[in-house]
Structure 1
Amino acid sequence: WSANAELPSLEVVDENGDWQPTDGEISSLFPVQIYSQKQIFELSKNPQSLLEIIDKDSQVKFSEFEKRRIALTHQYKQIRQKIGEIKEQISQKDKLTGELNDLDRQIKKIEESGHKDILQTFRHRQRQLASIERLEEEWETASEKLTAIVVKITPTDLDNEVFAPQDELTNAIESQQQRWQAMANRVAAIAEEAETTNQRWQQQKDTAQWQQDINTEVRQYEQIKVQLEQQGIDPEKYPMLLQTQVIKKDQLLQMDRYQAELTQLNGKSKKIQDDIQSNR
């Protein structure tokens, strides 16, 4: 390369060893920065300036390094935050284990009283009775809606002051009224059938054998309840204790899953930490 205007600005050596003019960008082929003595003096005042010049060099690729460092650091912080959250959850394991042991003791005390089957049967009957009550409410509501529909769709009488008797328009409207009355009568019959069905259900329920069985089981439960309460045991808590026991066991299983996840995250954290070190 030559700055002499009379010579080609850029030359290369060919296969024969001769210099030949060529095209190209001098700044990319000769990545050299020339500083005056004054500029060098100014740079010496701030050593960081020299590092900034080096960082800007395309061969150094500092911007790529910086982007990767930021990405790795962000990922590392996210993983460490997740690790902290999981450790907080795992720290509750001893407390959870103690609560489960206490539940097991209470449940065992009730079941060893010899009335476990009756208590479980009563709990099952309670759920059945609650479902029956909801169904009966639905049936009653449906019956009331049918009766209300009959009232709404039953046609009103024509206004004789507006429509003349035996008039063609009057006859057409009366025919339409008759059709609606016929529909109202059919719905009324369904509404009556619905009410009769509900009444029949109540009569059958009062005399059904399954209802008698429920009544017997309820009386047995009430007798056992008195006996258990005299022993300091509240049988009303039994269903809740069983439900809570299941929840606590699931939570302990989740602790094991947390521990496995923690091991994986620690491995990822170590790898990213190594990547950050090697990226320097």
Structure 2
Amino acid sequence: MDRARDIQNLNPNNEVRRTFENFIKVCNTKGSDGVLLEDTHIVCLYHKDSALYSLEWSQVDPKVEIKKKVEDNWIVEDGDAHSRFPVKIFSQKQVYDFAKNPNALLNLIDQSSSVQYKEWNMRWGDEISRYYSLCAQKRELELQISHKPTLVGQLADIEQKISVLENSSHQEVLTKYQNYANKSRIISEYQSSIVNFSNLFTNLIDEQSPKLNLSEFKPVLESEVEIASHLELLSEQLETFKQDMLNNIYTLESQLEAFDKSYSQSNFISEKSAAVAAQTNLSQTFISQGIESSNQYESLIDTKLSLEKSIDSLNKVEKRIQEVNDQIQNSYQSIIDIRIELTENRIEFLNRYINGNDAIQIQILPLCDRYHLEI
């Protein structure tokens, strides 16, 4: 039943392991260690769930072969004998060794179907990996916002400079220019988003649309002909859906084109142009008053808008950090819950099989250190 791996997992200096390793050696000469021959072949018949199995081991092929008896034939089956046939038979030396090593008993408990340690360990490992991944993600996000205070400080300086200019007698011209510049940016970004959105769906239809070649189906039976008919209807419905999508995209693009035309001819554009012209004239006045550049105010406005956009992006990152932090807390709680589940399963095993046995007394403490157990 491939229990040799249990022995091989013991410490190399363990007496049971050393005895076993000597036992499985091939005996070549009189007085040498080992009891096996070069052609030793061991067969174990195992009755399980109303079926008879043959577990075979040989020196030629150390892997345990599983066979199932079907009528008068033995059929080879796949699988791991160690897990499919979890029967353990211990020698007196092994039982004595268990008494010296509490963890040996704990390992036996973990291998039981009640505890299912392997399945539990997979979930434990997955959650640990998820926790580390979330922590790494949080660190990356925190690195992104590390320069936010610098940007906030720069924005405060820019706004201070702008307020000095806007508090002059030319405040109305400057405020109008800033208003139109900001709203023009919003309109431009929205137009670009619509174009990207339209292109996304067009590419999706062109490149990722499901395709069906009915000639490859080649229906022969009546049932297949019926299915082919339904497939054809489904394919036609898909083509209709795609065409409707393309028509909607065309309508959207036509509407966007109409908006561009009306926008370019709107009073908004005329008023914006007037505001830009007034700002240009005002810049000439600023030059005459000793301001370094005629584009200083425009540059300040552009910088202010850029900083606000960057800070807004960082605010979204901060929100994402909070979401990730919540996930980290949930993952940490899941790690605790999963670990508690292992302890509860172990205690359930003891209550079911060991409770009331005066010869064996085991106490399992929640979240205890398995390497410093006492029995």
Which protein has the bigger helix share? 1
Q: Looking at both structures, which has the greater relative contact order when contacts are Cα pairs under 8 Å and sequence separation is at least 6?
A: 1
Which protein has the bigger strand share? 2
Normalised by the length of structure 1, the TM-score is 0.47
Normalised by the length of structure 2, the TM-score is 0.37
* Larger Rg computed on CA atoms: 1
